[in-house]
Amino acid sequence: MKSNGEESVPKLRTDIEFLPASYQGTRALLVKDSLGLIQEPIVLKGETLEFLSLIDGKKDIRDFQVELMRRKGGVFVSSEEVEGVLQELDSAFLLDNERYRQEKERIIAEYSLLEVRKASHAGHSYPENTAELRSYMGSFFSQEEGDSQQIKGKEVVALISPHIDLDVGKRVYKRAYHVIRNSSPKRVFLLGTGHSLHESYISLTEKDFETPLGLVKTDKDFVKVLKKAGEKVVSHDDITHRKEHSIEFQLIFLQSLFGSDFSLVPILCGSFHKVLEQFSRPLDIPGMDNFLEALKLSWAEDGPETLIIAGVDFSHIGPKFGHNQHALSMLTETKSHDELLIEAICNKDVKSFWAELQGTKGRFNVCGFSAIACLLEILDSSQGHLLDYDIWQEEPTQSAVSFAAIVFETE
């Protein structure tokens, strides 16, 4: 409440995405809600966009009236008009108020009771029917374009694979998973990008994972160990896993190769961008050291029986990702940026990797930043090799995403 006794208008939710869009030739925003409170797509346009720009959690109704009248050149705006727009935003679950928080708690509580994480992208990103999915995945393991670059006598210990749309990244996915087709892991540490993980650095779950290809058991005992070791950085709930694709996409490749006879340690990594300038590596972040040491120790004890995979993409450029220029005009500098990142990754140089992101102030929106940085802290005596790299350009939005396949083998 403000000092004048008026209640401030709640701020916007921080767990929704506003994606640039166009509506009848004018600027608009498409709202994406990973929590699922917003069921149907919402397109915000016109005066609503101007209204959104004023919502900061500090203004009251009168502040909105004054600012809107100023922007309209003195045209009167009634309190009823302001309240009407706010009611629409509240009904759409866009505001961070008590109504939203109660619904969020309900969804989290209901999800926490489930023992299995069901495939959320089956039937949308890949076939839901088991036979159709097996046939579809078989196309990723044909020999053309998928030749292994694994060095004879070397053992694969870790892999970086994309998590972009499967058809878009098909060639790079092929290169990634061909190098582990002769492996036989008993356990997989699967690091993914927690796209909707905003309040913690790490999200873990003890749920088993089910896809049309079967059920993969989660190593619940070790997840409990990680939760205890990372109590300062691990989220108190696992709702982020519910609709996240970065782990699910890797899982159907692993099941295509190894069936479901391995256990999983599913780890979603939230953003490190808010501490990008403050630290120089994940181990410097309070609480991350114990978490990463627990991971590294378990992996070292297990040796070849545990494989590490990071499902990540690299740069995201263009208007869709907040830039005021088209991706085409950024391609040259994006490729140079990615090359420096990949060089640091292959050399397992986590400080140089982090420093490159610092130098660009995170301008290229590398969504795999945190997962890759954590991977580099875990790896020990291995050498990285770039298998493939590509950039997908989305013409309608004039935006682009880069991604790569990188393998780490014993030295």
Average pLDDT over residues 62-82: 90
21: confidence class by pLDDT, cuts 50, 70, 90: confident
Q: Which residue has the higher pLDDT, 204 or 18?
A: 204
What's the pLDDT tens digit per position in 164-202?
Answer: 999 999 999 999 999 999 999 999 999 999 999 988 999
So what's the pLDDT on residue 154? 78
Domains of the chain: 16-107 (1.10.10), 117-410 (3.40.830.10)
41: confidence class by pLDDT, cuts 50, 70, 90: confident
Both tokens assigned to 32: 């994406």
Average pLDDT over residues 223-238: 98
What's the pLDDT tens digit per position in 240-293?
Answer: 999 999 999 999 999 999 999 999 999 999 999 999 999 999 999 999 999 999
Average pLDDT over residues 358-362: 95
Q: How many Å separate Cα 174 from the centre of its chain? A: 21
So what's the pLDDT on residue 222? 98
Both tokens assigned to 374: 């954590």
- Which of 14-18, 161-165, 331-335 is predicted least confidently? 14-18
Q: What percent of the chain has pLDDT over 70?
A: 96
- CA dist 230 to 84, 249, 286, Å? 45, 26, 10
1: confidence class by pLDDT, cuts 50, 70, 90: very low
So what's the pLDDT on residue 379? 93
153: confidence class by pLDDT, cuts 50, 70, 90: low
So what's the pLDDT on residue 150? 53
pLDDT at 152 over 60: no
72: confidence class by pLDDT, cuts 50, 70, 90: confident
144: confidence class by pLDDT, cuts 50, 70, 90: low
So what's the pLDDT on residue 2? 53
**Nearest to 313, CA basis, from 379, 274, 356, 365:** 365
- C-alpha Rg value of the chain to the nearest Å: 23
* Amino acid at site 251: L
Average pLDDT over residues 339-356: 98
Question: Nearest 5°: phi and psi at 203?
Answer: -130, 130
| Spatial separation of the C-alpha atoms in residues 240 and 204, rounded to whole Å | 9
3-state helix, strand, coil in the chain (%, to 5): 40, 20, 40
**Nearest to 191, CA basis, from 296, 107, 340, 280:** 296
Q: What is the 3-state secondary structure (H, E, C) of 174-221?
A: HHHHHCCCCCCCCEEEEEEECCCCCCCCEEECCCEEEECCEEECECHH
What's the pLDDT tens digit per position in 315-330?
Answer: 999 999 989 999 999 9
**Nearest to 188, CA basis, from 230, 212, 219, 225:** 219
- Write down the mean pLDDT value for the chain: 93
DSSP sequence for 253-294: HHHHHHTT-SEEEEEEE---GGGTTT-SSGGGSTTHHHHHHH
| 107-116 contacts at long range (C-beta below 8 A, 24 or more positions apart) | 107/35, 107/36, 107/37, 107/239, 108/237, 108/239, 111/237, 111/238, 111/239, 111/242, 112/237, 112/238, 112/239, 114/207, 115/207, 115/208, 116/207, 116/208, 116/209, 116/210, 116/215
